């Protein structure tokens, strides 16, 4: 049976900001030990935020789109929801938004364990591995058009 969830597009000032922040805190700060001063930055204010909600309107996943930089990031899914299509749906929504805004490519910084996930969506690695927030990453890009 497919998991039931929907994705909403938010701005930082949304009434659902608290849900978004709590989800990012759980996935990045608590689970992955990302320092708080790295997690919260000046880009949140101007970004497009995607929030995946389950059938009782609980936050289960998120992503952040920086249109002016052609980047997607802060993609996270609660552990209990991983492998159920939430991350893929968030990524496809981010790509669709970027295409609709006239972008011709999308960049991201992937944690090395997630590279295959992004490759399945067509992203290709464009850098050597590096450490960001104490986690190994590689840059990736998806081009279209």
Q: What is the pLDDT of residues 45-82, one digit of tens each?
A: 999 999 999 999 999 999 999 999 999 999 999 999 99
In the chain, domain spans: 5-143
Q: What is the pLDDT of residues 85-143, one digit of tens each?
A: 999 999 999 999 999 999 999 999 999 999 999 999 999 999 999 999 999 999 999 99
With 0-12 CB in 10 A as exposed, 13-18 as middle and 19+ as buried, what is 26?
middle
pLDDT over threshold 80, residue 22 = yes
The stretch 39-47 carries a mean pLDDT of: 97
Paired with 71 in beta bridges are 66, 107
Classify domain 5-143 at the CATH topology level. Answer: Aminopeptidase (3.40.630)
pLDDT over threshold 70, residue 2 = no
Strands 59-66 and 71-77: antiparallel
Please tell me the predicted confidence (pLDDT) of residue 127: 98
Please tell me the predicted confidence (pLDDT) of residue 3: 76
pLDDT over threshold 70, residue 1 = no
């Amino acid at each position: 049976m497919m998991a039931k969830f929907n994705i909403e597009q938010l701005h930082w000032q949304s009434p659902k900001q608290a849900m978004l922040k709590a989800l990012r805190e759980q996935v990045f700060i608590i689970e992955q030990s990302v320092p708080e001063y790295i997690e919260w930055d000046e880009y949140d204010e101007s970004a497009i935020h995607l929030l995946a909600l389950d059938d009782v309107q609980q936050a289960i996943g998120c992503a952040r789109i920086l249109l002016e930089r052609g980047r997607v990031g802060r993609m996270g899914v609660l552990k209990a929801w991983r492998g159920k299509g939430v991350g893929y749906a968030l990524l496809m929504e981010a790509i669709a938004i970027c295409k609709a805004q006239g972008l011709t490519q999308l960049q991201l910084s992937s944690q090395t364990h997630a590279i295959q996930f992004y490759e399945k969506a067509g992203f290709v690695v464009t850098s050597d591995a590096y450490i960001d927030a104490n986690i190994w990453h590689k840059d990736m890009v998806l081009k279209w058009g």
